[in-house]
Amino acid sequence: MSTANPNPRRGEIWTAQLGDAVQRHWVVVVSLDRRNLSDRTSSILVVPFGSYGRPGPTVAELPPGETGLPGVSYLKAHFIQVLEKTALIERERRALSSTRMKQLVEMIRRAVDPDAPWPGL
């Protein structure tokens, strides 16, 4: 089941179908709204949540009170991926704050830039 005409926005949390996986996954939209809302683009950039992990340069632990998800979740920026908009299933009630999105962008940068700073080192 997919949303016929989703209008995802940056920072929103969605349930999505990732690849051939049977299980649905939660993702956060990280691409810019100019792309997300365009009728000319069929894909967006997302970062998936995981149910386990350890905070580090490319992983952030988020409590359920922040995300609205059922338990502690881990954003894994090193798994950033292109996702077809049609793979989005349902928008969750909450979105990430601008502060959290800035943190996520820095985590994505650390996943691809060996010179990106990380205060944990």
Q: Residue 56 carries which DSSP code?
A: B
Query: Which domains are seen in the chain, by residue range?
Result: 12-112 (2.30.30.110)
Q: Is the pLDDT of residue 10 over 50?
A: yes
Burial 21-45 (b: 16+ CB within 10 A, else e): eeeebbbbbbbeeeebeeeeeeebb
User: Rounded CA gap, 3 and 5, in Å?
Assistant: 6
pLDDT digits (tens, 9 = 90+) for 26-81: 999 999 999 999 999 999 999 999 999 999 999 999 999 999 999 999 999 999 99
pLDDT digits (tens, 9 = 90+) for 21-30: 778 899 999 9
